[in-house]
Structure 1
Amino acid sequence: MGLLSNLDLVNECDNFPYYSDDPDKFKVLWNEYYHFYLEGCGACLGYMTSSVAEQMPLTPHWRLDKLNRRLIFQPRDDLGNPVTDLDARSRILAHYLQDVRERRIFGVLDGWRNELYPIYGPKRELLLSMERSATPLFGVVTYGVHMTGYVMTGEGMKIWAPRRALTKQTYPGMMDNTVAGGLSTGEKPFECLIRECEEEASLPADLVRAAARACGTLTYFHVRDARAGGETGLCQPECQYIYDLKMPPDVIPKPGDDEAIDFQLLTVDEVRQAMAEGRFKPNCAHLLLEFLVRHGFLTAENEPDYIEIVARFHRRLEFPTP
């Protein structure tokens, strides 16, 4: 395989098709998906592959509408009445997913995390909390924080890049952003960042609080391949809260858990080469392109696809967000 262009890297991450590119092709693909709904909420919450939707065990809490291609979560109490309480809905969902996991219907649930991710409605209200590893099955929007830690040296900027552990279910051995992690229900982005910095890179909270800078968000719609672990073709729309951290030369990130093998301090050119060779996890390469644009390394003068690339950093997602 040859080197990947910067636009190739964008297309690898933000790879769910755009209607405007080919309306006919988009409609055919879109009609192959089921839409995930919560009873009483009029908004589609995610796209599911037909194979996943049709394998979901049906209980009184679920209804498969093949005609309109919808899988509808309709939580009921012991008397068969609709459940409207958030916590009760989420408990019913948790028990159901635990049963699905024990029955080993979907490989993606082998990566069970015991972490709850939020699902929002059209009024920005929290509708459900769902086990993290199950979210790709339902194609719901997930949220995370990604931070690029860099050092200014006599040779110019250098970036700290970890390598993911070989034992990870998702993208084992690939390169990652300095710190990255998922946003759990009820967690604020900056507090999530502080926790992840400590857990993944052994970075002190006082340094992160003082020096980390919020740089907006990155949104994309990814369709998972075999590297993500479990079933392929699953929809993964995501919103990442982006941070930069200018680090003192004497602060060395170290793995604080089993997420990373090690950290490497790389020049910008070395990072770009690794990206072109496909060594970075797709969404991490996407985020690093945004970093390179903001810091003036990637410009309209040196990148022929500059306008397209920059536009793709902020995809409008077709599902409710907070």
Structure 2
Amino acid sequence: MPTDTLAAIEASIAARSPFDRATKLRLMVAGQHVGWLPRAHADVLRGMGCVLGPEEETPSGPSVELLPGRGDFEVRSAALEALARQLAEGGHVRGWRDELFAVTPSLDAPALAVVERAAARFLGLLTFASHMNGVVRGEPTFWISRRSPSKAVDPGMWDNLVAGGMPHGSDPLATLVRECEEESGIPAALARGVQAHGCIEVLREIPEGVQWEHVYVYDLELSADFKPHNQDGEVAEHRRIGPDALLAIMSAGAMTVDATLVTLDALRRRGWLAPAGNPA
């Protein structure tokens, strides 16, 4: 593949992935790092009367404690529910989901609280997602999906065949199996045959705040006659596409950042894309 195409893709990712630590505070809950809070958002929270501790300097940089002294999961969660509703009423968050995300320092750590998904990126919380490359068996071909124009985040952009955020109480595979049925009509028995390929970290500033996400990567090989069909209205269309056309979409910045990273990972693993610096 031409090196200028890969350079264009990498430039698109970089342009959409700024992150200035000087404008962020390490957000702590019960002494554990759970997010990157923009300083401007800290000002909003203080103005709303949200309980934030004083800014503290640590060896890892400035930090602030959210809900200091609230030592109970239920108490913290209730306070965050009220806060999320205040943020929504004030126009600071959009796309209310009625879905709870864990407030946690890592996937394998107990949740310290839960919060409405729509508020997670305002707070810069660490979140988790599952993404799946749909690969046509025996062909260098992918199925991809276009996000509905009504989506609150990245409307109308191209995405992996299946992608979804991980709610509290779920896990990467269970999240993926659910999303497979909802987004592409892939039955659970087929979806459980995915191959896991690790995790990609995304950390970038976005209009809502910060996307700090651990994206769990999967591939699923699909028969040549399989055709996905959306069930939940969140996908505008599916497209069966080869590497060259897919690279063109990515180089134009028409695919979400996380889906672009997941797709590049699959292309490299399958030998359909030369490693950076080594032209195909």
TM bracket, shorter-chain basis: 0.7 to 0.9
Gaps of 5+ in 1: 17-28, 76-81, 226-230, 307-322
Match of 1:90 in 2: 77
Query: Which one of 10, 18, 27 corresponds to residue 36 of structure 1?
Result: 27
151 and 31 in structure 1: CA distance in 2 versus 1, 3 angstrom threshold: closer
Q: What are the Cα deviations for residues 251-278 of structure 1, in whole angstroms up to 9, with x where unaligned?
A: 2101111211110100111111111121
Q: What are the Cα deviations for residues 42-61 of structure 1, in whole angstroms up to 9, with x where unaligned?
A: 23322222221101145776
Match of 2:188 in 1: 205
- Alpha-carbon separation, structure 2, partners of 1:282 and 1:252: 25
- Alpha-carbon separation, structure 2, partners of 1:33 and 1:127: 21
One-letter identity of the residue aligned with 2:199: T
1:1-322 equivalent positions in 2, closer than 5 A: 5-12=8-15, 14-16=17-19, 29-38=20-29, 41-57=30-46, 62-65=51-54, 70-74=63-67, 82-104=69-91, 106=92, 109-121=93-105, 124-152=109-137, 156-209=139-192, 211-225=193-207, 231=208, 234-300=209-275, 303-304=276-277
| TM-aligned CA deviation for residue 152 of structure 1 | 3.2
Aligned length: 270
95 and 268 in structure 1: CA distance in 2 versus 1, 3 angstrom threshold: same
Normalising by structure 2, we get a TM-score of 0.87
RMSD of equivalent CA atoms: 2.5
Give identity over the alignment, percent: 27
250 and 241 in structure 1: CA distance in 2 versus 1, 3 angstrom threshold: same
Q: What are the Cα deviations for residues 299-319 of structure 1, in whole angstroms up to 9, with x where unaligned?
A: 24xx3179xxxxxxxxxxxxx
Normalising by structure 1, we get a TM-score of 0.76
Q: Secondary structure at the match of 1:48?
A: strand
92 and 30 in structure 1: CA distance in 2 versus 1, 3 angstrom threshold: same
One-letter identity of the residue aligned with 1:132: R
Cα pair 2:103 2:115 within 8 Å, conserved: yes
- Alpha-carbon separation, structure 1, partners of 2:81 and 2:28: 16
Gaps of 5+ in 2: none
Q: Secondary structure at the match of 1:56?
A: helix
Cα pair 2:46 2:52 within 8 Å, conserved: no
Q: Secondary structure at the match of 2:71?
A: coil
One-letter identity of the residue aligned with 2:254: R
286 and 208 in structure 1: CA distance in 2 versus 1, 3 angstrom threshold: same
Match of 1:22 in 2: none
Match of 1:320 in 2: none
| TM-aligned CA deviation for residue 204 of structure 1 | 1.0
- Alpha-carbon separation, structure 2, partners of 1:8 and 1:177: 20
- Alpha-carbon separation, structure 2, partners of 1:253 and 1:140: 32
